[in-house]
């Protein structure tokens, strides 16, 4: 079973630190919750499509993003299609006791020879020469945190854990080209823009970021 659990320090200790570092603590109002980050490569141990759809809509359906339930369904269906890949890595956090999915991220290495869909074609066309920089990089398909657990460092912990678990020194993702909290986190983590790709749900070209 390719599933492991590890304690992470939500106040931004790098995942490579000693496993003896203090358990991660998320403060929700007056309640402090110890959380466990699970790394999983086995589809049977990953969150199901319905859970990911619910999390996606909770994370992106509110202001200022206001993404639709249709978009949430599309992103979760893509996850369902990709989840059987042998090289896919997922990381997630469940709230103790309730089991609610608080945060989730997943991805896999990107090879242009595998990309035959219209979205990938548009990505190649819009990036131009920069498209070659994505070859072999780990593609982060989704990073989502439930609103109740934001601003505690959980998104950063999930992203770092995902890249570490994948052994990825080089990665890429696409995000809204807007001053969102997510964009601020990516920039603080050293991600750099390389160009624009297909439109994001706001109808504008997404910004492609790379690291490494």
Mean pLDDT per 10-residue segment, the chain (212 residues):
44 30 50 77 96 95 86 95 96 89 97 96 97 98 93 92 97 94 94 96 92 96
Distance from the first to the final alpha carbon of the chain: 30
pLDDT at 97: 81
Reference 39, options 50, 49, 47; nearest CA is: 47
pLDDT at 27: 57
Q: How far apart are CA 172 and CA 157, in angstroms?
A: 17
pLDDT at 11: 34
CA 134, 162, 78, 206 dihedral sign is negative
pLDDT at 33: 60
Q: Token pair for residue 174?
A: 């696409």
pTM for this entry: 0.85
Are 109 and 128 spatial neighbours (Cβ–Cβ below 8 Å)? no
Helix (H, G, I), strand (E, B) or coil at 183: helix
Q: Token pair for residue 10?
A: 């939500």
pLDDT at 126: 97
Q: Residue 195: which H helix or E strand, with range? A: strand 192-199
Q: Token pair for residue 167?
A: 């052994």
pLDDT at 138: 98
Sequence-distant (6+) residues with CB within 8 A of 132 are none
pLDDT at 34: 63
pLDDT at 32: 60
Q: How far apart are CA 55 and CA 84, in angstroms?
A: 20
- The crossing angle, in degrees rounded to 10, of helices 154-166 and 181-188 is 50
Residue 44 vs residues 60, 74, 90: alpha-carbon distances, Å: 26, 21, 12
CA 201 to chain CA centroid, Å, is: 16
């Amino acid at each position: 079973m390719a599933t492991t659990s590890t304690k992470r320090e939500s106040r931004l200790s790098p995942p490579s630190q000693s496993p003896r570092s203090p358990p991660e603590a998320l403060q929700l109002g007056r309640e402090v919750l110890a959380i466990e980050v699970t790394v999983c490569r086995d589809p049977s141990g990953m969150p199901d499509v319905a859970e990911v759809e619910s999390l996606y809509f909770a994370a992106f359906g509110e202001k200022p993003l206001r993404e639709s339930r249709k978009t949430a369904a599309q992103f979760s269906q893509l996850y369902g299609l990709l989840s059987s890949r042998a090289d896919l890595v997922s990381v997630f956090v469940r709230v103790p006791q309730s089991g609610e999915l608080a945060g989730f991220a997943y991805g896999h290495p990107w090879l242009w020879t595998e990309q035959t869909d219209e979205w990938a074609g548009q990505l190649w066309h819009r990036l131009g020469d920069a498209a070659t920089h994505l070859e072999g990089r780990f593609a982060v398909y989704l990073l989502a945190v439930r609103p109740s657990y934001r601003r505690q460092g959980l998104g950063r912990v999930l992203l770092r854990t995902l890249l570490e678990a994948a052994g990825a020194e080089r990665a890429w993702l696409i995000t809204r080209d807007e001053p969102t909290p997510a964009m601020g986190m990516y920039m603080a983590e050293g991600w750099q823009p390389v160009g624009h790709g297909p439109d994001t749900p706001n109808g504008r070209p997404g910004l492609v970021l790379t690291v490494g």
